[in-house]
Amino acid sequence: MTIKITKQDALDYHALPHPGKIAIALSTPAETQRDLSLAYSPGVADPVLEIHKDPELAYQYTIKGNLVAVISNGTAILGLGNLGALASKPVMEGKCLLFKRFANIDSIDIEVTTEDVDEFVSTVANIACSFGGINLEDIKSPECFEIERRLIEACDIPVFHDDQHGTAIVTTAGVLNAVKIQHKKLDDAHIVCMGAGASAISCMRLLIQCGANPQNIAMIDSRGVIYEGRDNIGQYKQEFAIPTALRTLEDACKDADIFIGLSGQSGGFTPKMLASMAPNPSIFACSNPSPEMSPEDAHAVRKDLIIATGRSDYPNQVNNVLGFPFIFRGALDVHASCINEEMKLAAVHALKELARQPVGDDVLARCNEDRLTFGPEYIIPKPFDPRLLSTVAGAVARAATDSLVARRPCPDHYD
């Protein structure tokens, strides 16, 4: 299904009927003098004093427990680059829309006008107590790693850089299903990763946690394969330096089982490279809006492949909306202090298993599909599958409880 929109369509959507995509709504009555006395002075003093005595009561008397801040400095906006904090606002508002639509989480976008890591961390840490979680977005690498690490240390609420972990979680779930369908084993698979930024590094880390052999991963940056002994490799790329004679993307693709494109650059993965891969390869061409190779071009080269992209008009869309709303929903529901590795892995396996289940008629109708069955063209759930909320959020909430980062019991509806 191809969805065509024009520039004017996009501008009108953001401008009409009111500017922007989100608004603030009242959740309590405000119609009488008594209502106002309860909402503000003098009634508001009572919850203030209770929270002063016990900060945990902020979850009971304020919106904190269902409020996420979506924060960016605009240094890596989608595939558009460093366009500044204000230009990132439509994207951050869009993230807020997705939080509300898919997980009924209230969120507010905050754009921070600094590229200085210390200043950014200080700004966010100083406002963190207002929120139940922080979703970092569109912050360039390598600063994003340091920013997230320091905020996790400074805050007692979940801090999650979705460009890193959301992409990694959804991609890893798809890879696990693809290798199953292709009758391969992840620990034996040779993986080529085109890209060495935040999402690429996080994705490879997560695949290793799921069983991939680090020595079988060839990570490629703009200078070629990252290998032991190569000069000028930063600390995060160094983690993936392997002893190998491979030097180019073309070298790495020969006899590889899995190609993962997370470079943000369209093209670059050629028909010759695809043809040289091992039988039954899996291709994740995730660059948007133009993937490293289109499904049409890939299928013209060989028929034994599985291909996923970041686009909604092709099968197997790697879409972060399958992850972050439900990951935060599960974390918020147990008042988690962080989103740890156990919670991320729980989300991976929940997504993986959901794609293997029968798909209901309501999902088919929303996706304009006649049939969706686990196989080469359906390895990742669709965003409109209502089971995502209970399946992924429930898995995350249980993992938070089991790993002792939850501050309240897992809700009964997740049992």
Segment 329-364, tens digit of pLDDT: 999 999 999 999 999 999 999 999 999 999 999 999
Distance CA(306)–CA(280), nearest Å, equals 8
pLDDT the model gives residue 369? 87
| Position 370 pLDDT exceeds 60 | yes
Q: What is the DSSP letter of 193?
A: E
Given a contact cutoff of 8 angstroms between Cβ atoms, the answer to whether 354 and 387 are in contact is: yes
Distance CA(80)–CA(86), nearest Å, equals 14
Q: What is the dihedral of CA 186, 191, 196, 202, to 10 degrees?
A: -10
Segment 150-168, tens digit of pLDDT: 999 999 999 999 989 999 9
Segment 296-320, tens digit of pLDDT: 999 999 999 999 998 888 899 999 9
40 is catalytic: yes
Share of the chain above pLDDT 90, in %: 88
User: Catalytic: which of 13, 89, 95, 303?
Assistant: 95
pLDDT the model gives residue 379? 97
Q: What is the DSSP letter of 27?
A: -
**In residues, how long is the chain?**
415
Could you give all domains of the chain from N- to C-terminal order, each with its CATH number?
Answer: 7-157 (3.40.50.10380), 164-415 (3.40.50.720)
| Position 183 pLDDT exceeds 90 | yes
Q: How confident is the model at residue 266 (pLDDT cuts 50, 70, 90)?
A: confident
Segment 57-111, tens digit of pLDDT: 999 999 999 999 999 999 999 878 899 999 999 999 999 999 999 999 999 999 9
303 is catalytic: no
pTM of the entire predicted model:
0.94
Average pLDDT, integer, range 3-16 = 90
Q: Which residues contact 48 (CB under 8 A, 6 or more apart)?
A: none
Structure token pair of residue 139: 């912050």
First vs last C-alpha separation in the chain: 36
Burial environment of residue 225 by CB neighbours within 10 A (0 to 12, 13 to 18, 19 or more): buried
Task: From 22, 193, 12, 29, select the one nearest 96 (Cα to Cα).
Answer: 22
Average pLDDT, integer, range 259-288 = 92
Average pLDDT, integer, range 368-373 = 89
Average pLDDT, integer, range 365-378 = 91
Segment 107-125, tens digit of pLDDT: 999 999 999 999 999 999 9
Q: How confident is the model at residue 174 (pLDDT cuts 50, 70, 90)?
A: very high
pLDDT the model gives residue 415? 72
Given a contact cutoff of 8 angstroms between Cβ atoms, the answer to whether 406 and 339 are in contact is: no
User: Catalytic: which of 4, 21, 40, 184?
Assistant: 40
State the greatest distance between any 2 C-alpha atoms of the chain, in Å, as a whole number. Answer: 77
Q: What H or E segment, with its residue span, contains residue 97?
A: helix 89-103
| Position 4 pLDDT exceeds 80 | no
Q: What is the DSSP letter of 41?
A: T
Q: How confident is the model at residue 3 (pLDDT cuts 50, 70, 90)?
A: low
Average pLDDT, integer, range 248-260 = 97
pLDDT the model gives residue 2? 56
State the average pLDDT for the chain: 94
Distance CA(14)–CA(89), nearest Å, equals 11
Order of strands, sheet of 224-225, starting from the edge strand that comes earlier in the sequence: 224-225, 217-221, 191-194, 258-261, 282-285, 306-309
Q: Locate all alpha helices (DSSP H) within 104-212, ordered by sequence.
A: 117-127, 143-154, 162-181, 198-209
pLDDT the model gives residue 1? 53
Given a contact cutoff of 8 angstroms between Cβ atoms, the answer to whether 286 and 262 are in contact is: yes
